[in-house]
Every structure is written in structure tokens, then in C-alpha cells.
Copies of this chain bind each other. A is one copy, B any other.
Amino acid sequence: MSHTDIPGNVTAPRGFRAAAMNCGVKAGKPDLVLIHSDHPAAVAATLTTNQFRAAPTYVTERAVADGYARTIVANSGNANCATGAQGMENAYRMARAAAAATGVLPSEVVVCSTGVIGHQLPIEKIESGIASLGGQLGQTAPEVIAQAVMTTDTYPKAVSIEFDLGGVPARIGGICKGAGMIHPNMATMLAFFTTDVGIAPELLRRALRTAVMESFNCISVDGDQSTNDTVAILANGACGAPSLACEDDPRYTAFAEALRYCCTEQAKKIAWDGEGATKRITIHVTGARTWDEARQIGRHLANYTLLKVAYYARDFNWGRVAAGAGAAGVCIDPYRVTIDWCGIRTFASGEPVAHDMAAGRKALAERDIEVTVHLGLGEACCTVWTCDLAPGYIEFNAVDEL
């Protein structure tokens, strides 16, 4: 896909403004962000499948049900999860405050929270923060918008591109925060995208679902879906091209490709910025019967504690790849499996392949590590991204008094 990187993240697409601030949920750092479309916009969102869903995910689910929304409000520092009836009421209060601050209906507001579970939001602080952000839309620098959703992320995660939509330059922008769960228990992957493409809600949903499946659903830091995970996109049509209404429109393909690119770039940043991580791991599972089976094995390998430690430890023990692939719950035939690690063939057709262990250890000293497991069963493949498990993960998650 051809595209140009441009600055501005969520405010790069035309007709979007944003603002961020510290409203007092956390000490000092930005903890509240407001993103707003100046025009009516289609919306799509994918939400966590965790059964202990946070209150704001219910509010967002309702807001996106009719396919239209204009405002996203998100706080960090408190997840508003496992907070009962008061938590639900507070999530709706956030929606109402953001609606009032941006001149839309409460049902047009996507609400997100991230942070500690089981504590009530300081809702008055958040409400007055939202009110002031309403008057500051467009006045916050894009870098600060991206920083506002950071928790233990070591760098802000933003993307914005311009691509060709049937002759019209169209844009997508995004910010996100990491999925690694952390002291003080920031328990969520949040990703927000904006685009000035015009698109029917059902097509936007389809494009987002596909893009998320092959990006955010193919990463793993510690292997779990949090209570608050949300990916949301607003599409306001401000690029001026006619709205996409049909899947067969080649412009839809261009948009879907561009969105997938943005999602994948953001997802990789999350995977590789896991807490304490020192390495960027890319796992290719090829020759599978189906994409689902390829992904199941890829994710199992990505979550496999022993393998995650081996990357960190430069332990070129490819047997852990075999053991991990075999434990994924997918029926495979070891006699058809080929394992390449850092480009070194270690196992093929049911037999170990003699290789240079020293070269393997040297390869594992690199920052980028590739593992390829070829199953020899079919044509499907999937790529999954993760990071190593380093002592920093435990240090990150340990409380101060230790």
C-alpha cells in the first residue's frame, strides 16, 4: 500500500480537533483526553471480550450501536471497572459531560477509562476537566494528545498517514496506549483512530473488525484481554470524496488496506513496548490449514512463558518452540513441521537439523527476533508480535515497598 506519513495523529484527518489535560485522577501527568469531529461521523468500535467488562465499555457499546458518534472521551488512572451501579452512573456522567462540552448528544460519545480496577472515579474532577477541555479543542499539540493516553508506555504511540482514495488524498490518524498491565495496574489497551474518509457505518465496522483481527488481536504482552480494551474509529467524510457505500468499491479496498496498515503499526508498537521488554519478537506461523489455527499457534507461542524468557536469556533452545507449538491445542503433525529461528533451520520433517548453536545465541543478541514455524498442512498463515519476558516486567509490577 502506498501512503505518506504525515504529522498530527488523530488531528491529521480534516475536521477533527482534540485536547488533553491533567484533571487530577493521576498526579501531574495528563489523564484526560477529548477527541471531537466537527462534522457528523460514522463510528465503529471493538470491545473487550473479558466477562468483567468495565462500565464505560457498556456506554460505548450503546453509543456505537446506531453507527454514528462524534466525540471520544477517555481518562487514565482509574478503570471504572468492578464499580457496580455507581460506576455505570459515572460512565454516563462522563458521556453527558463530553456531550455538553462538544455540543453533541450523550449517545454520540464514546467513553473509555483505564487504570486501577475496583475504585470509584473522582467524577467531579473528571466532569470539570471535560468541561474545560471543550473550550480547548484544537489548542493541544498532537504530541501531548498522544502522551495523554500513555501509562507505563515508554514512548507515545501515534500514527498518521495520507493515502490515495480514488484520486482524493484521504487521511487516517491514531493514538494508542499499551496493553502491558502494570503498577499501578493500568489494565487496558486503548486505540483511537480518526479518518476524513466518508463511509457507511456497516462498512466501517467491517473494515475495523478485519483490521483489528490481523493487528491488535495478533499481539500479546501478557496474554490476556483486559477489562477495558477498546479500539474505536470516527469517520467524518471531510476529505470531500463521495462516501464509501459498497464493499466492491475499489476505494473501500484502499481504505481498508490503509486502516489495516495503521492498526498493524500501532499494534506492533504496543507489543514491542511491553513492560520491561528488551526485544521485539515476530512469530510467523505458515502452512496451516486455516488462519484461525495459525493464529492460535502463533498466540500460544507469543504467550509461552518459557520461550519469552529464552529470548531475553539468549537461550537458543528451539525445542521450546516445538513444545509451545505442540501445546497450542491445534492438531499438527510433527513430521511435517519446519522450525526456523533467526533464519537458522533447526528442525525439518520430524528430524532435528544440525546447526551452529553459537550463531543462534549471537542472533538472539539482536533486538529483533523472528521465529517461523511451518506446519506443512495447508496454505494459511498468520503473523503475531510479542516481546520477551525480562526481569523488568516483574519489577514494573512489584509494589514500591518491596
Residues of A at the B interface (CB closer than 8 Å) are 49-53, 79, 81-85, 116-119, 181, 183, 185, 187, 222-227, 304-306, 309-310, 312-315, 317-320, 322-328, 330-334, 337, 346-347, 350-352, 361, 389-391, 393-395, 397-399, 401-402
Contact B117 A313 (CB under 8 A): no
CB-CB under 8 A from A53, the residues of chain B are 326, 334
Total identical chains: 2
Contact B118 A52 (CB under 8 A): no
Contact B325 A52 (CB under 8 A): yes
Contact B224 A327 (CB under 8 A): yes
Contact B226 A323 (CB under 8 A): yes
CB-CB under 8 A from A323, the residues of chain B are 50, 52, 81, 117, 181, 187, 224, 226-227
Contact B314 A397 (CB under 8 A): no
Contact B327 A397 (CB under 8 A): no
Contact B350 A84 (CB under 8 A): yes
Taking A51-B327, A227-B322, A323-B226 as contacts, is the C-beta distance between A397 and B310 under 8 angstroms? yes
Query: How far, in whole Å, are A399 and B402 apart by their CA atoms in the complex?
Result: 26
Choose from B50, B225, B309, B318 the contact partner of A118 (Cβ within 8 Å): B318
Contact B304 A118 (CB under 8 A): no
Contact A82 B352 (CB under 8 A): yes
Choose from B319, B333, B395, B398 the contact partner of A82 (Cβ within 8 Å): B319
CB-CB under 8 A from A117, the residues of chain B are 317-320, 322-323
Choose from B51, B82, B181, B391 the contact partner of A394 (Cβ within 8 Å): B391
Query: How far, in whole Å, are A325 and B82 apart by their CA atoms in the complex?
Result: 12
26 contacts between A and B (CB under 8 A): A51-B325, A51-B328, A51-B334, A52-B326, A53-B334, A81-B322, A81-B323, A82-B322, A82-B334, A82-B347, A83-B352, A84-B351, A117-B320, A118-B352, A119-B352, A181-B306, A183-B313, A185-B319, A224-B304, A226-B323, A227-B319, A305-B393, A313-B394, A313-B397, A390-B394, A391-B395
A297 to chain B, nearest CB (A): 10
Contact A309 B394 (CB under 8 A): yes
Closest to A119 in B: B352
CB-CB under 8 A from A395, the residues of chain B are 391
Contact B326 A50 (CB under 8 A): yes
Contact A317 B119 (CB under 8 A): no
Taking A305-B305, A312-B394, A394-B391 as contacts, is the C-beta distance between A351 and B319 under 8 angstroms? no
CB-CB under 8 A from A306, the residues of chain B are 181, 222, 224, 397
